[in-house]
Amino acid sequence: MAILGELGTEILIPVCGVVGIVFAVAQWFIVSKVKVTPGAASAAGGGKNGYGDYLIEEEEGLNDHNVVVKCAEIQTAISEGATSFLFTMYQYVGMFMVVFAAVIFVFLGSIEGFSTKGQPCTYSTGTCKPALYTALFSTASFLLGAITSLVSGFLGMKIATYANARTTLEARKGVGKAFITAFRSGAVMGFLLSSSGLGVLYITINVFKMYYGDDWEGLFESITGYGLGGSSMALFGRVGGGIYTKAADVGADLVGKVERNIPEDGPRNPAVIADNVGDNVGDIAGMGSDLFGSYAESSCAALVVASISSFGINHDFTAMCYPLLVSSVGIIVCLLTTLFATDFFEIKAASEIEPALKKQLIIFTALMTIGVAVINWLALPAKFTIFNFGAQKDVSNWGLFFCVAVGLWAGLIIGFVTEYYTSNAYSPVQDVADSCRTGAATNVIFGLALGYKSVIIPIFAIAVSIYVSFSIAAMYGIAMAALGMLSTTATGLAIDAYGPISDNAGGIAEMAGMSHRIRERTDALDAAGNTTAAIGKGFAIGSAALVSLALFGAFVSRAGVKVVDVLSPKVFIGLIVGAMLPYWFSAMTRRVCESAALKMVEKVRRQFNTIPGLMKGTAKPDYATCVKISTDASIREMIPPGALVMLTPLIVGTLFGVETLSGVLAGALVSGVQIAISASNTGGAWDNAKKYIEAGNSEHARSLGPKGSDCHKAAVIGDTIGDPLKDTSGPSLNILIKLMAVESLVFAPFFATYGGVLFKYI
């Protein structure tokens, strides 16, 4: 038996969750000391903005009162626009939740004809609870996961809009102060999401356990609905938010920068508020829901496999909760790592930002490796068995340590590779910028080639992780490798959210008319933020590959599939169709981005042509109309891609059976991961190539500029093409492969019983 008993587990997991929430509140309190109300600073403890630090910009004679008022007004407009969009989207998503919850109950409840009689357990001795009640609890966990995902995204958005103007104001004291404010704000989101996700899942398990008793097979089968709910909401958040932000971004770029030669974030640009709103609903709310879904799914996959292994059969609660214990340790390690960025290291120059963020990843990985070793020693018996496609595989506790560690270090490798290919500090992005000398066409060719090349090392890292973890502990090992990669969720979200917050801070500085020195600092923050956002997407995509494979293993186990034979026609047709789905999905998301962007471009052009004095700055643009265009387009256009993802497993599983569905899942996983990495890195490289030219911080960069030059316009076109790739199609693809897998797992009993209708008559 393990050293850590059941009582210790029941104390440790909730305590770690509470510590994470308390730390998030403490970070929020520190950020709130930066005031956006003129005259309130002295009441907050002396000094402007709640601090006694000297404002560098005072020497330029700026009116502090007016600057703060403008920043507050812009922040309010962005917050109201983001809140309005999310509430509108949640109305439609709420209807989907109700309908799909009914589908889950009917499909799963019909397996035994809605009988209330218990049935013999499949993998253990004794009688298991009726399928009808498992359907009911699966429906409840689906709704719970969906609500938690929505709340996570909404809180993330509110935190980001609360922090963006404060980051702008702190930039007057130096780039270091602005960096700490943005990073602390991202940490609030990261720790709230990871801690609440852990806490809600743990409470759900214990509440369901009161009914299921010793039927852990049924208990953890019903828990899978939690992952499905979280991931389905993430899909709509990612797709809807991505369409919103890209419609506004493309409109602001093409008309403002290219046609009118004005700053993208200038107050004369009618799409500027919608553009800044989009950062929050796409990159913040969408990413929050996405990583929550990944955490929930990987935990559910591990718990399902463990429930039919010796952990579940022997009712070893501490060992069963090993995935949750790893996540608990991750919260504590993330807390320590965050302190290095906010308290132990001091950022004095813009060039120190990216190295500081890189140190975050290195420190976390090193400390987490030690933490996993400790919890491995405390929580697991020396020897146990793991279910492996119909058999029980002997595994040692240190074997699981290597499974988690290989995922942890693979995530670090993916992060570093992503940084190399998307940061303008390295040659790949600089070469992309240089290709703009000969126009937009060569820029596009070079950027696409960079994206394809950036896939190589991450795929090898994922492949090694899969081989090592599967060899040690079968599909449970892969699920734990995914959790190892996701254990950095709190820090990862802090790093990822830092990017959009910094981008918004730069936009607010431009709209508020602050000096070019402030904009230079926020641009430096933003350039590093683009890289960190790409790193966050790299983590999300890499973990999605492992999570999807773990869910795939859990699905074939629950569906009773012993072997997935690719030479079987039933499997192969699914394989080739599944490999096509990411392309179909990408085409849909990119087309709807183009359609929404076209409407935005037309509206922005019309305002410039019809509002007298707009170009001179004597008239105010109609921001609200542009916000409405993005909102309407994203709500309407997110439905077809969402339907493709949600309906595919139901149709394939019902009509063609579990073998064909296995092929579909495998095909979508193999092609989807590589398209997602390529799209995300290509878009990130184009974006930072544009910023490299705009910043002009080196002789090479200055030779390509300045803003408005032909070279810069070619870079803007590349950035515009890359926007839907890095912010809509790429990030959404990882949800596609995860969501289809977890949906198949939830409906596995139904497909195993009634699936393959067509093949029964052909």
Q: What is the arithmetic mean of pLDDT over 493-521?
A: 83
For a pLDDT cut of 70, what percent of the chain falls above it? 96
Rounded CA gap, 326 and 194, in Å?
Answer: 12
Q: What is the pLDDT of residue 586?
A: 92
Least confident of 38-47, 177-186, 419-428, 634-643: 38-47
The Cα–Cα gap between 504 and 66 comes to 19
User: Any idea which of 232-241, 280-289, 369-378 has the lowest mean pLDDT?
Assistant: 280-289
pLDDT of residue 614: 87
Looking at the DSSP assignment, which residues form a beta bridge with residue 392?
A: 387
Q: Does residue 41 carry a pLDDT above 60?
A: no
* pLDDT on residue 131: 85
Determine the pLDDT at residue 262: 80
- pLDDT-derived band at 649 (thresholds 50, 70, 90) equals very high
Q: What pLDDT digit, counting tens, does each position of 64-101 carry?
A: 678 888 888 888 888 888 888 888 888 889 999 999 99
* Closest-CA residue to 454 (of 540, 534, 545, 526): 534
Beta strands in 171-249 (DSSP E): none
Query: Which range has highest mean pLDDT (34-43, 101-110, 556-565, 587-596)?
Result: 101-110
Going by pLDDT thresholds of 50, 70 and 90, the confidence category of residue 209 is very high
Beta bridge partners of 128: 119
Given this model, what pLDDT does residue 502 score? 85
Answer whether residue 44 shows pLDDT above 70. Answer: no
- Return the residue matching tokens 């904009």: 519
Question: What average pLDDT score do residues 15-36 get?
Answer: 91
Going by C-alpha positions, the residue among 77, 59, 64 that lies closest to residue 37 is: 64
HSE-up (13 A, CA, CB side) for residue 714: 22
Model pLDDT for residues 462-488, shown as the tens digit of each residue: 999 999 999 999 889 998 998 888 887
Distance CA 519, CA 523 (A): 6
Range 138-167 average pLDDT: 89
Could you tell me how far CA 417 lies from the centroid of its own chain? 18
Coil/strand/helix, residue 423? coil
pLDDT at residue 592, rounded to an integer: 83
Question: Locate tokens 């709640």: which residue?
Answer: 50
Report pLDDT for 52.
53
| Both structure tokens of 654 | 């019902």
For the residues 552-578, what does the mean pLDDT come to? Answer: 88
According to the model, what pLDDT value does residue 45 have?
42
* Confidence at 271, pLDDT banded by 50, 70, 90: confident
456, pLDDT greater than 90: yes
CB atoms under 10 Å from CB of 526, counted, come to 24
Residue 654 in this model has a pLDDT that exceeds 80? yes
Contacts of residue 544, Cβ cutoff 8 Å, sequence gap at least 6 = 294, 673, 676, 734, 735, 737, 738
pLDDT in tens, 353-370: 888 888 888 898 999 999
Q: What Rg do the C-alpha atoms of the chain give, in angstroms?
A: 25
> Average pLDDT of 210-222?
89
The answer to whether 443 and 450 are in contact (CB under 8 A) is: no
What is the mean predicted confidence (pLDDT) over 669-694? Answer: 92
pLDDT at residue 2 in the model: 73
Give the per-residue pLDDT at 50: 47
Which residue's entry shows tokens 């399902």?
304
Q: What is the pLDDT of residue 34?
A: 87
60 pLDDT tier (thresholds 50, 70, 90): low
Average pLDDT, the chain: 86
Question: 675: pLDDT confidence band, cut at 50, 70 and 90?
Answer: very high
The whole-number average pLDDT for the span 436-461 is 94
Nearest partner of 127 among 117, 135, 115, judged by Cα: 117
How many beta carbons lie within 10 A of that of residue 25, not counting itself? 12
* Residue 555 pLDDT > 60: yes
Digit-coded pLDDT (tens) for 721-750 = 898 888 888 888 988 998 999 999 999 989
Confidence band, pLDDT 50/70/90 cuts, at residue 46: very low
* In the predicted structure, residue 324 carries a pLDDT above the cut 60: yes
Beta-bridge partner residues of 383: 396
pTM of the model: 0.88
Confidence of residue 56 (pLDDT cuts 50, 70, 90): low
Q: Which of 747, 757, 283 is nearest to 555 (CA)?
A: 747
Confidence band for 9, pLDDT divided at 50, 70 and 90: very high
pLDDT band, residue 55 (cuts 50/70/90): low
310-327: average pLDDT: 92
> Of 404, 198, 220, which is closest to residue 315 (Cα–Cα)?
220
pLDDT number for residue 444: 95
